[in-house]
């Protein structure tokens, strides 16, 4: 299975890929936003509209700590924070952890930004693991047995993030030319992706710091980039998939400039620069969060499926195909069983079924041949062959083929005997195959009888 990591390619700061496994919540009024806080946000937002940034500080005395879910921070993370402060460094909980705390959603891990360099962090935490992210940028993970590690990310300069972007699209010139790290929180903020992910909690004072209207956008349910959206998406197309995940998860809307960029005719070309890891990691996070139906709808709406599912081009946007897949994914969401591999087995299934319709009882070799045909027609950026030191996703083709083969076995009435039932109950992935079969039965009533039989058996 995939194991989440914080950085890859031009991934920038430790907030960007964390907290994606926290529960999805619908848009609603968040208790954090009191009248006093709203007044500060609105006044700041007027200033923000006239310049590239406008610092907003929400003092710790102004919000109710009981309604701010960072209170759930683990004992180990608190101890790590205290060690960093005691060593004389600044420490900020960053990004998604603060965003979810604002929304009242507990974070499953906590990421820190600090003015200490990676080497200085290692002095404070000699048990830490120093990881190379990209270029000269390193982060440190402090391990804790039985818990998520604490992630320490040095503040990054704009020059270190991408020196070629300086002075473009609302990005200022770096004050730290030639330096990867910096000690300026505002400069670090330009290395983030979306305004709602660009929030900092000062570990010393408890203040919340916002440079780009992130609090306003969370309150209003808006996804917006820190700087020019087309520049962001074209230079870091991970943000395309991340934006759709967040849109589906929180049921937010895109800001006007973000919507325009997401409809850009070059979107497919931007996505083509992503490697397999970035595609699959973001797809996994989108399909396994309990909102797989909405995520698929967003991928369809913004034509992202066109970029990766070449084999499905003839049916992708047809009503029959969309209805079938959305019904199946909706079933998985309701059951709380959404899984990336099961979701992709469902998404590719209509094509596989079409290819196999001439065979009354396909063999596993027949199914494997169809998979190879489908997979070879897809973009090279979306082949399930990722295997490196951080995760292994090579199991997915075998898994999907097993599920497809078992669809025919479960649908064959002649297999409803004691002998065949006992045999199929021992098959690898049989429970996942039955889940998919049940989901298909929610769309195709002719499968309900067989689904009922196997549900009673398994």
pLDDT per residue of the chain (458 residues) written in tens, 0 to 9: 322 322 233 333 333 444 444 444 444 579 999 999 999 999 999 999 888 789 999 999 999 887 777 766 788 988 999 999 999 999 999 988 899 999 988 776 788 999 999 999 999 999 999 999 888 999 999 999 988 889 999 999 999 999 999 999 999 999 999 999 999 999 999 999 999 999 999 999 999 999 999 999 999 999 999 999 999 999 999 999 999 999 999 999 999 999 999 999 999 999 999 888 888 888 999 999 899 999 999 999 999 999 999 899 999 999 999 999 999 999 999 998 778 899 999 999 999 999 999 888 899 999 999 999 999 888 777 877 777 766 677 788 999 999 999 999 999 999 999 999 999 999 999 999 999 999 999 999 999 999 999 999 98
> Is 225:239 a contact under the CB 8 Å cutoff?
yes
| Chain position carrying tokens 């004691």 | 418
pTM above 0.85, yes or no: yes
β-pairing, 147-154 vs 199-202, is unpaired
Q: What are phi and psi of 54, to 5 degrees?
A: -155, 110
How far the first Cα of the chain sits from its last, in Å, is: 24
> Is 330:290 a contact under the CB 8 Å cutoff?
no
Residues of the chain with CATH 1.10.3090.10: 276-457
| CA gap 84, 115 in Å, rounded | 10
| CA gap 15, 113 in Å, rounded | 9
Enter the DSSP assignment of 141.
E
Q: How far is CA 251 from CA 27, 246, 278, in A?
A: 6, 8, 23
Number of H helices, E strands in the chain: 21, 10
For domain 276-457, the question of CATH label 2.40.50.100 is answered with: no
Residues of the chain with CATH 3.30.460.10: 35-227
Q: Say what the pLDDT of residue 383 is.
A: 79
| CA gap 5, 390 in Å, rounded | 7
| CA gap 301, 296 in Å, rounded | 9
Listed as own residue / partner, the contacts of 247-251 with beta carbons closer than 8 Å and 24 or more positions apart are: 247/223, 247/298, 248/24, 248/286, 248/291, 248/294, 248/295, 248/297, 248/298, 249/24, 249/289, 249/291, 249/294, 249/295, 250/24, 250/25, 250/26, 250/27, 250/103, 250/221, 251/26, 251/27, 251/221, 251/294
The CATH code of domain 35-227 reads 3.30.460.10
β-pairing, 56-58 vs 137-144, is unpaired
Q: Say what the pLDDT of residue 17 is.
A: 43
């Amino acid at each position: 299975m995939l194991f989440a990591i914080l950085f890859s390619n031009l991934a920038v700061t430790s907030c960007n890929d964390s907290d994606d496994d926290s529960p999805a919540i619908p848009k609603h009024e968040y208790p954090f936003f009191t009248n006093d806080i709203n007044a500060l946000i609105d006044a700041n937002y007027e200033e923000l509209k006239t310049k590239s940034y406008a610092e907003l500080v929400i003092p710790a005395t102004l919000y109710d700590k009981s309604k701010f879910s960072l209170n759930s921070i683990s004992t180990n993370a608190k101890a790590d924070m205290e060690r960093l402060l005691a060593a004389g460094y600044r420490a900020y909980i960053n990004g998604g952890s603060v965003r979810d705390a604002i929304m009242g959603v507990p974070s499953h891990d906590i990421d820190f930004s600090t003015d200490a360099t990676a080497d200085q962090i290692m002095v404070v935490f000699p048990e830490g693991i120093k990881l190379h992210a990209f270029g000269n940028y390193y982060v440190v993970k402090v391990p804790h047995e039985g818990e998520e590690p604490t992630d320490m990310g040095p503040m990054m300069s704009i020059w270190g993030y991408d020196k070629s972007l300086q002075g473009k699209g609302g990005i200022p010139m770096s004050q730290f030319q030639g330096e990867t790290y910096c000690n300026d929180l505002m400069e670090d903020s330009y290395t983030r992706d979306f305004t709602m992910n660009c929030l900092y909690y000062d570990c010393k004072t408890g203040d919340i710091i916002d440079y780009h209207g992130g609090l306003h956008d969370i309150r209003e349910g808006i996804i917006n980039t820190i700087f020019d959206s087309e520049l962001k998406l074209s230079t870091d197309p991970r943000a395309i998939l991340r934006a759709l995940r967040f849109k589906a998860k929180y049921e937010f809307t895109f800001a006007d400039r973000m919507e325009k960029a997401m409809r850009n005719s070059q979107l497919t070309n931007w996505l083509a620069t992503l490697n397999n890891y970035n595609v699959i990691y973001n797809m996994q996070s989108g399909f396994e969060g309990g909102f797989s139906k909405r995520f698929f709808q967003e991928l369809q709406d913004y034509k992202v499926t066109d970029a990766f599912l070449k084999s499905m081009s003839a049916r992708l946007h047809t009503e029959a195909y969309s209805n079938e897949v959305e019904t199946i994914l909706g079933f998985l969401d309701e059951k709380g069983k959404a899984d990336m591999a099961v979701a992709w087995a469902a998404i590719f299934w209509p094509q596989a079924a079409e290819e196999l319709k001439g065979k009354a009882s396909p063999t596993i070799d027949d199914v494997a041949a169809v998979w190879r045909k489908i997979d070879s027609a897809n973009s090279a950026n979306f082949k399930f062959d990722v295997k490196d030191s951080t995760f292994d996703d090579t199991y997915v083709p075998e898994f999907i083929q097993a599920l497809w083969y078992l669809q025919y076995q479960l649908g064959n009435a002649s297999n409803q005997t004691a002998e065949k039932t006992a045999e199929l109950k021992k098959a690898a992935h049989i429970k996942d195959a039955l889940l998919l079969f049940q989901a298909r039965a929610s769309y195709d009533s002719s499968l309900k009888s067989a689904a009922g039989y196997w549900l009673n058996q398994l």
